[in-house]
Amino acid sequence: VTAVPHESATGALEVLRTRSVVRHYTGEPVEESQIQQLVTAMLAAPSASNKQAWAFVMVRRRALVRGVRAFSPGIIGDPALILVACVDNRRAADDPHVREVATRCVAMAVQNFLLAAHALGLGACPVSSFLSEPVQLLLDLPPQVDPVFVVPVGHPAGRRQSSQRRSAEEVVHHDTWTA
């Protein structure tokens, strides 16, 4: 078992703790080397039974970014790129539970992507509010490839929003609900 060095552990815990949603971006592009690092982190997410029933589209061409944004009320700013994260149903058995589990794996991959973006000084936001069919058509996705998140990414503009959270005492229970 490979242990993580102490400094890496501290850095990782800081990145986990300080990530927050970024909705506004400067016009600066995202570098190719950063895109590689985002992809590496994303594809290292857990995959139930190692099915990897997922597919991702990195949209950078301006006309397509504008197109996806036009169908995504949840995207506020003007991002340098948009990740479209999908379940690939061709690799998931035709069973509602299997498909739901595949969706959770995509969510975990998106979370890795968001954390890597934060580590690299980029900002991003996981968006579920978008019109699936127009995005599928625009990006020429096969009919069985279902987008589950669109994720705008760019260099952060303005202040980072951190959200008020319920306390750990309220949401974390020990041993049983009431114990």
Residues 66-125 that bind a second copy (CB under 8 A): 97, 100-101, 103-105, 107-108, 110-112, 114-116, 118-121, 123
Alpha-carbon distance 39 to 179, whole Å? 42
The SS3 call for residue 156 is strand
Q: To the nearest whole angstrom, how small is the minimum distance from the Cβ of residue 141 to a second copy?
A: 5
Contact yes or no for 102/92 (Cβ under 8 A): yes
Q: To the nearest whole angstrom, how small is the minimum distance from the Cβ of residue 116 to a second copy?
A: 6
Contact yes or no for 157/77 (Cβ under 8 A): yes
Closest to 84 in 3D by CA, of 114, 57, 122: 57
> Does residue 152 bind a second copy (CB under 8 A)?
no
The number of angstroms, rounded, from the C-alpha of 130 to the middle of its chain's C-alpha atoms is: 14
Please work out the total of residues on this chain that contact a second copy, with binding judged by CB under 8 A: 88
Q: To the nearest whole angstrom, how small is the minimum distance from the Cβ of residue 74 to a second copy?
A: 9
Out of 79, 126, 147, 152, name the contact with a second copy by CB under 8 A: 126
Out of 27, 32, 47, 131, name the contact with a second copy by CB under 8 A: 47
> Does residue 154 bind a second copy (CB under 8 A)?
no
Q: To the nearest whole angstrom, how small is the minimum distance from the Cβ of residue 128 to a second copy?
A: 5
Alpha-carbon distance 29 to 74, whole Å? 21
Residue whose entry in the numeric block shows the structure tokens 């490839």: 145
